[in-house]
Amino acid sequence: MSGAATGPLTGSGARLRRGAVSLQSISKSFGAQNVLKQISLDIASGEFMTILGPSGCGKSTLLRIIAGLETQDRGTVSIDGQVVDHLRPAARIIAMVFQSYALYPHLSVLDNISMPLRLSRLSMLQRLPGARYLHPGTRRAEGEIREAARAVAGILRIEELLARKPRQLSGGQKQRVALGRAMVREPRVFLMDEPLSNLDAELRVHMRAEIAQLHRRLATTFIYVTHDQAEAMTMSDRIVVMMEGTALQVAPPKEIYENPNDLRVARFVGSPAINVLPGTIESDGSIDVLGSRLQLRTTLPAGSRVDIAARPHALSATAQPGAPTVTGRVVHVENLGADVFVHVGVEHAPAPVVMRHDPALALTPSLSDQLTIALPPARVLVFDDRGRRVSASSDASVEQHAHA
């Protein structure tokens, strides 16, 4: 890049449309602990992929392996079809944004953003004080580096901060500087490890939108690690849900939410959490749920134990044809303004059943009120005793297939 005026960061981003990443059977152990177990994942060029999971699931280790900061025990990492396992981090042409920002405290914002280009384009001698007067071309190279850094600052709208030191910046400003330092290298892939976790709730919401807009502008690959489902659901093209070193499901956010393939995924994604009730397959194929019959058919044999799951938004206090019901007393009403969630204690249920109540309705249930909740079969998910999603169809669906 000869200057920011002709660089991809100020143009269409065409030169950044690259960075397909392929992970094949990645495994990693630390001593006796298996941190990653046969992870295979293909990330398309320009995709925003989020690795979502609880602390300790291996997601940050996987990101560090992609970056070349950790070495896997087995498996391969490829970028744009080239195996990069033997390449040092700088040679992989990627950039990583850390949770801690990792800014140089003694340097200005401009110099922090410029630093990756100074390290990659200038020799050790050229970086010495006064080198611009001794080495031909150093002054021109430094000018181009600063021009590139200023172009990045313009994209991030932090031009007025360029003379400040990190101690003079807010958390959100530090995060933008960290993003700028990553952007200036024009990487094939951006790696982001919990970049918003140090920010307060309001600023996290704002920065989520900024990062999503930045991804659309640059059109390059983002691989983003977080434990926060809101970040994953609002920014991602696809999400990989990880737990205990295993990739449980890879899918777009809507599919992860509506069609989880594992009970652990269903429990982890969604707020409030999904309701889970115990059930048993009856001899006629229906499912007994706390004494009510759910007319769904599965391939499981009679007597099989299952878990019935339903989102709070799927439940209703209005009777519905063909929908079994559970009855209990209101133990808590959670009024969030736009939403009201009613918690109902149901006998033999492992936890209160949570139902969304429409705040526009005239009457909101009160504590100790008795409430009957309908479980619409079409919005209920069934999982076997190992937590795996089970295909289930209603009687109506079975009859339709029979007459087709």
Percentages of the chain per state (helix, strand, coil), in multiples of 5: 30, 30, 40
CB count within 10 Å of CB 363 equals 8
Strand duo 238-243 + 48-52: pairing: parallel
Segments making up each domain of the chain, as ranges: 4-257, 273-403
* H/E run at residue 51: strand 48-52
3-state SS class at 230: helix
What confidence score (pLDDT) does residue 136 get?
A: 62
CA distance 389 to 383: 4
Region for residue 282 given its phi and psi (left: phi exceeds 0; alpha: psi -120 to 50; beta: otherwise): beta
What confidence score (pLDDT) does residue 395 get?
A: 59
Instruction: Give the type of residue at 5.
Output: A
What confidence score (pLDDT) does residue 199 get?
A: 86
What confidence score (pLDDT) does residue 336 get?
A: 87
CB count within 10 Å of CB 285 equals 16
What confidence score (pLDDT) does residue 124 get?
A: 62
Q: Are 48 and 19 in contact (CB under 8 A)?
A: no
What confidence score (pLDDT) does residue 227 get?
A: 96
Per-residue pLDDT of the chain (404 residues; tens, 9 = 90+): 333 333 445 443 434 447 999 999 999 999 999 999 999 999 999 999 999 999 999 999 999 999 999 999 999 999 999 999 999 998 999 999 988 888 999 999 999 999 888 888 766 665 556 655 556 666 778 888 889 999 999 988 899 999 999 999 998 899 899 999 999 988 999 999 999 988 888 888 999 999 999 999 989 999 999 999 999 999 999 999 999 999 999 999 999 999 999 999 999 999 999 999 999 999 999 999 999 999 999 999 999 999 999 999 999 888 777 788 999 999 999 998 888 999 999 999 999 999 999 877 767 889 999 999 999 999 999 999 999 999 988 754 333 333 33
CATH architecture assignment, domain 4-257: 3-Layer(aba) Sandwich (3.40)
Dihedral of the alpha carbons of 322, 324, 327, 331, in degrees to the nearest 10: -100
CA distance 361 to 383: 33
Helix H segments across 165-239?
171-183, 201-218, 229-235
CB count within 10 Å of CB 44 equals 14
Give first-to-last CA distance, the chain, whole Å: 62
What confidence score (pLDDT) does residue 400 get?
A: 30
In CATH terms, the fold of domain 273-403 is OB fold (Dihydrolipoamide Acetyltransferase, E2P) (2.40.50)
What confidence score (pLDDT) does residue 142 get?
A: 80
